[in-house]
A and B are shown apart, each in its own frame.
Chain A
Amino acid sequence: MALIELKNVFKVYESQAGSVTAVGGVSTSFEEGEFTAIVGPSGCGKTTLLNAIGGLDQPTQGEIHIDGVNIVALKDRNLIDFRLQHIGFVFQAYNLIPVLTALENTAFILELQGVGKKERDARAMELLEAVGLADRAHNRPNQLSGGQQQRVAVARALASRPRFVLADEPTANLDSKSTETLLDIMAQLNDKEKTTFIFSTHDQRVIDRARRIIPLEDGKIKSV
C-alpha cells in the first residue's frame, strides 16, 4: 500500500468573479522514502495540492489517504492531531516561533507530543548537528540568517520522525549556497532516516536533485 494516495482531488475556489479551479482532478500516489518534487509555474496549483496533502486545506472533492486514513473525512481537531503525529512541514517563510531558541523550535513538535525534555533536547541537538547549527542552538530566529532559519525549520520538521515532510518552496528565499546546503541536508536525511520528502518548487536546483518529478499545469498533472 502506498504511503499517500490521492484520488481525483479537486480544489475549487469560489469568488464573486466566478469559480477558480486550483487543482482539477489529481490522482497519484507516493511511496515511502520518496524524494519528490511537484513542479510547475506560479499559480499552477502546487501549493494548493501540497496543502491538501498536508490536511491544511480541505479539497472540494476527492479523497486523500495517508497510511490508509482518508484525511478528508477527519474533523478539524482530529486533523490537527494527525498532522502533529504524522506530518512534518517546511514553509517558504520558515515560520519559526520567534520567542523560542533554535533548540526549542526544533524540539517544539516533540514537546507538543509530550516527549520528555531530556529526550527531545537530545533529538533536537542531534538534528541541529545534522543541519550544521549545533553552535547556534541557543540563538533565537532573529539572530539567524534566512538559510539558517530554514535549516532549523527542516530540523523541526524531522524531529518527531514524521511519516513524510511537505516542503513548500523551501528554497524560494535562499541564496545559491544556502539552497545547496539545505538540499544536501535533506537528501542526507532522506537517505539516513528514510524520511519521505515532497516539495513544491519551481527552483531548478531542487528539481535537479529530486528523484521523482510530478509536473503540474493548470491544476492537473501533465503527461510527460
Chain B
Amino acid sequence: MSLTTRLAWRNLGRNRRRSAITAAAVAFALFFAILIRSLQLGIYGHMIDTVVGGMAGYVQVADSAYWPSQNLDVALAEDPQWLEDVLADPLVASAAPRLAGFTLLSHQSESAVAQWTGVDFDLEDANFWSTRLIDGSLDGIDESGPYPVWLGRYLAESLDAHTGDTLIGMGQGYQGSIASDLMIVAGTLRLGNPELEKRVAVLRLADAQAYSGAYGRWGTIMVTPKNTSASIQVSQALAQKHPLTYASWSSWEDRMPELKQAIQADSAGGIIILFILYVVISFGLLGTMIMLANERQREFTMQIALGVKRRVLAGMVFVEALLMGLLGATVGTLMGRGLIYYFHVRPLRLMGDVASAMEQQGWEPVLPPTMDWSITWTHGAIVLLLTLLASIWPIMVVYKSPSIHR
C-alpha cells in the first residue's frame, strides 16, 4: 500500500464520527436517489410496458392514412413474407398484426361503445394476455359458437357482462359494410390503464377480420424491438430495411407525444427533488471537508516542512475523500438496491384518493420499481463526484499552506 493510501486509510480512523457522518451522508443521498429514481422510472416503464407494449406497440406499422382516425378502410393487405422478414430481423423481438375498429356492444339493457381489437395470440406474447386475465381463459373456445371476446374490466362492468354472457355487436365494417354479430364473453382483462379498460374488446385476429369483413387485411403490425428504450431509432432503421407499400413506421413516442411529455414533465419533477437533495448533501460534505482542513492545517504545514510534496498531501486528502465516498456509496447501494428489490418482488399498491387520482389519469396505482443498474451507477457516480468536489477545499488548503506555522 502506498504511503498516500496508507495515511488516507488511517486518517479515516482518527475522527471516526466525522468519517461515519460523511459516509452516511453519501449513503443516504445515494439510497434516496436510487429509491426515488427507481420508483419513478419503474412506474414509467410499467406504464409504457402495459399501455404501449401490450396495446399500442413500441413500433407500429400502418397505412400512412391510418392514424389518427384508425380508419379500417385503409387497412394494409396481408403480406406473410414481409412479416417473416421482419420477424427474422435481429433488431426485432416480436411482430404481430392487428386489426381494430369501433362497435356498439349490447348486453341485455346495457350498451357501450367499444374499440374491438383483433389479436393473433400465436404471434403475440401469450404470456402478456394470460397474465392480464382477471377471469375466463384464452383456450377452450367453442369454434361453432359466437366470436369469443375478452373485455376490459370497466367495459365489462358497464355492460354488466360476465364470462359466458352473450353480447350483440353492431358497427361499421370494412368499406361500407355492416359489422354485426353475436359475441360471447370469454374473459375480462386488467390492462394496467383504466382508459383502455373502459373501451377495449379483444377478438382473435381471424374473428375480427370476419366480423368487420376485412378479410386478408391488417390494420397495424405491432413490432417489439429487442431494445425497447430505443424505439425511435429502431423504427427508423426498420423502415429502411423493410419497406412495405403504403405503410409507414412510427414509434410510440411519435404516436403518443402527450404520454411522452407527461413522463418527461413528471421525471423533471423527480430530478428537481434529487437536485435539492444533492445540494443539501453537498453543503454537508463541504462542511465536513472544511473542518477536516482546519484541523489538519498545522499538520500539513509540518509535513511540508519535513519535505512532503504538496501533491502527496493533496493526493492523501483526495484518497481520504474517495474512500469515504466509496464506503458511503457501497452502503447506499446495498440499502437502496435491497429496498427496491423488496418492492420489485412486492410492488407498492396505492389506496384511496391517491389511487383514484392516478386511475383518472390513466395510470394503474402501483409503484413497481425498475431494477435497472444504470440508475445505481449514475447516481453513485454523482455522489462520488460531489464527495471529490468537496475535497477540493482541503486540497486548496494544502496548496496554500506555508511551510512554517506561526
Task: List residues of A whose CB falls within 8 A of some B CB.
Answer: 51, 54-57, 76-77, 79-81, 83-85, 87, 89, 91, 95, 97-100, 108-109, 111-112
Contact = CB atoms under 8 A, between A and B. Distances in A.
Contact of B306 (A51, A76, A84): A84
Given A56-B404, A80-B310, A83-B305, 14 more contacts: A56-B305, A80-B304, A80-B403, A83-B306, A85-B307, A87-B307, A97-B303, A99-B7, A99-B11, A109-B306, A111-B3, A112-B3, A112-B306, A112-B308
Contacts of A99: 7, 10-11, 13-14
Q: Which of A56, A87, A100 has the most CB of B within 10 A?
A: A56
Contacts of A83: 305-307, 403
A55 B404 CA distance: 9
Interface in B301-333: 302-310, 312
B299 interface: yes
Contacts of B7: 97, 99-100
A109 B307 contact: yes
A91 B307 contact: no
B3 A80 contact: no
B309 to A, nearest CB: 6
A98 B11 CA distance: 9
Contacts of B302: 91, 95
Interface of B: 3, 7, 10-11, 13-14, 299, 302-310, 312, 403-404
A111 B13 CA distance: 22
A83 B305 CA distance: 7
Best-surrounded residue of A77, A85, A87, A95 (most CB of chain B within 10 A): A95
A81 B304 CA distance: 10
A47 B306 CA distance: 16
A51 B404 contact: yes
Contacts, number: 56
Given A55-B403, A57-B404, A98 B14 contact: yes
Contacts of A84: 306-308
A100 B4 CA distance: 12
Most buried by A among B11, B305, B312: B305
Nearest to B312: A112
A35 to B, nearest CB: 22
**For A81, A91, A99, which residue has the most chain B Cβ atoms within 10 angstroms?**
A99
A89 B305 contact: yes
Nearest to A51: B404
Contacts of A85: 307
Nearest to B311: A77
Nearest to B13: A99
Most chain A Cβ neighbours within 10 Å, of B306, B310, B404: B306
Contacts of A89: 305-306
Contacts of A77: 309-310
Given A51-B404, A95-B302, A112-B3, A80 B307 contact: yes
B170 to A, nearest CB: 86
A108 B306 CA distance: 9
Contacts of B306: 83-84, 89, 108-109, 112
A95 B404 CA distance: 12
Contact of A112 (B11, B307, B310): B307
Contacts of B309: 77, 80-81, 112
A44 B241 CA distance: 90
A128 B13 CA distance: 26
Contacts of A112: 3, 306-309, 312
Contacts of A80: 304, 307-310, 403
A97 B7 CA distance: 9
A116 to B, nearest CB: 13
Given A54-B305, A111-B3, A97 B310 contact: no
Contacts of B10: 99-100
A9 B4 CA distance: 37
